[in-house]
A and B are shown apart, each in its own frame.
Chain A
């Protein structure tokens, strides 16, 4: 490519810009990588671009034809009120055409924060938050309402839990069993994202126990629920806390490696469980940087998994769910966010991901309205059906800029990854607070860039309008709390008290066994869920056993 004609063209190009070239200021992307105004064949010299989609190292795509066989899964996050309100919302979303691969139903259900951190509706600390920013689910009956009448063979239930991850899986398994199903019929996702406490400030367990529970769930599913996706490597969480795209990439891969290590330490063969790990990745505002990040991510994960001993292709696949960034949205002039969200969906699709949640334009104001939530879904559907984007796999491959940037993201990503690995890896970085420090500092630097106008944000530091926003958010009536408490009390009244007591005793013993490195907790939790033990009751025992701590 770099022949005489190119050299001539380049000389002419240099001549053409001579007059003003020194006026063009050097630019950096969000990851701090220097960006030029023009890329040429010289920039991709030496890069190995002789690869195909669906072929190791999967830089171009996981599957040979990209989205041509089936488009990405539309996985809108939803959930509010009790199981009853959320059930209605599920049906609405199905009616709006939200679907996964080959038309299967996919539900990406977010819990309210009391459920996430293991308190039932009647706990004093739940007040004001029950059913507000997610659904309150605490009993096997609640889960029954969620799974009722959906085809269990094909429907995917993604459970956006917090530390109640194990109880959440136990409760849905118990609900399936009550319907006469074997639990191996279950399809869906556990978050199993304990390692996020490296950056997110939430109460949680002591690290060694957090990892032990994570491995316990993986082991349980590997043996008993083979189609269940056990672990979500929550890079979005790193990104929203302030990580730059390259930090998100590097720390996310290190997190993934720490999960593989934990599974191996629990006695599992990598090929038996790594294929059920997946990623949730954020998308910020620099389009090509995000595409390059996603391409580099696939390539790097393929290497990480192969080095860890995986040999099956599905175990080397970085399956990615995208959550468009909530942090970049503005409360000022909220409709502007639709443009941001569209751009982010575009980056995700150009990056070749498997599943997308697109934020709603009014998330900066409150809980999304029916209109904003539907518009976010429709934005995906417009890109899916009107733009022609899904017809061609990895359409930016071969672009001088995108290939160069993919390589740069990879190189810079390995630097951070290898540096952390040399210090002991992700779990060490979680324990010593170094990952948090690094990402908190990036958040601070980003804020300074925005405050000084160096990083433009329309409506916030440019084109500011002094207008009050009269936008009405979606309201979840605080009376929902009473309804949830009544549901819970009615459920408790029906239980066999002795069964509950002995089930909780079993949970306590199983926790101790897990701490001692013997036995499994998950099957005991499923049994407890069947006996009517609630989310909060299981969590209370687990909190005592695994040294629950509130971090700053």
Chain B
């Protein structure tokens, strides 16, 4: 298990055109030795199914065109229902900083501002993967 790379599902809504940031993060996480599944979702159920199927350690959701709060709520409820309680959940993109607290209360472990180095995200993942629980 120790030799297995950390596996990340990087999810982005398929009808959202703003892919530059998430694609860069995907590349930077790969540079950091992680296995990244870049995934375009239609509904939140698609993320959950992909996470189960790919058996990932981390789910990252990129948000560029609103919807972060309802997506977070549905995602966490769905993951719990499917027994995926140990996955590390992160979000990033154009998300108002004033909503970070609300997202963390729902159960998102960490929210990242846009434009940050992928290393910042990679370090956070390395430190927290396997320790996270969905409450």
Contacts and interface: CB of A to CB of B under 8 A. Distances in A.
B20 A471 contact: no
Interface stretch (A404-412, A443-451, A502-510): A443-451
B71 interface: yes
B5 interface: no
A485 B25 CA distance: 35
Contact of A552 (B38, B65, B70, B95): B38
A471 B97 contact: yes
B115 interface: yes
Contact of B20 (A113, A327, A451, A476): A327
A124 B45 CA distance: 11
B128 interface: no
A132 B98 CA distance: 18
A425 interface: no
B66 A471 contact: no
A482 B129 CA distance: 38
Contacts of B38: 552
A331 B114 contact: yes
Contacts of A327: 20
B71 A128 contact: yes
A162 B96 contact: no
Contact of A128 (B66, B115, B118): B66
A129 B67 CA distance: 6
Which of A240, A242, A365, A472 lies at the interface centre, i.e. has the most chain B CB atoms within 10 A of its CB?
Answer: A365
Interface string A110-132: 00011011010000110111001
Given A124-B43, A550-B14, A133 B66 contact: yes
Given A119-B15, A450-B115, A470-B98, 16 more contacts: A124-B42, A125-B14, A127-B67, A200-B17, A331-B115, A365-B94, A366-B66, A367-B66, A440-B23, A443-B23, A457-B115, A468-B97, A469-B97, A472-B96, A473-B98, A476-B66
A331 B97 contact: yes
B97 A132 contact: no
Interface residues of B, number: 32
A457 B42 CA distance: 34
B94 A363 contact: yes
Contacts of B98: 469-473
A338 interface: no
A127 B46 CA distance: 13
Interface of B: 13-17, 19-20, 23-24, 27-28, 38, 40, 42-43, 65-67, 69-71, 94-98, 113-115, 117-119
Nearest to A134: B65
Contact of B94 (A116, A364, A470): A364
A460 interface: yes
A232 to B, nearest CB: 14
Interface in A185-209: 200-203
A369 to B, nearest CB: 11
A457 B115 CA distance: 10
Interface of A: 113-114, 116-117, 119, 124-125, 127-129, 132-133, 162, 200-203, 240-242, 327, 330-332, 363-367, 440, 443-444, 447, 450-451, 457, 460, 468-473, 476, 478, 550, 552
Given A127-B43, A242-B20, A552-B38, A473 B96 contact: yes
B118 to A, nearest CB: 8
Contacts of A133: 65-66
Contact of B24 (A128, A202, A443, A470): A443
Given A332-B113, A443-B20, A444-B27, A129 B97 contact: no
Given A443-B20, A478-B70, A470 B97 contact: yes
A482 B19 CA distance: 28
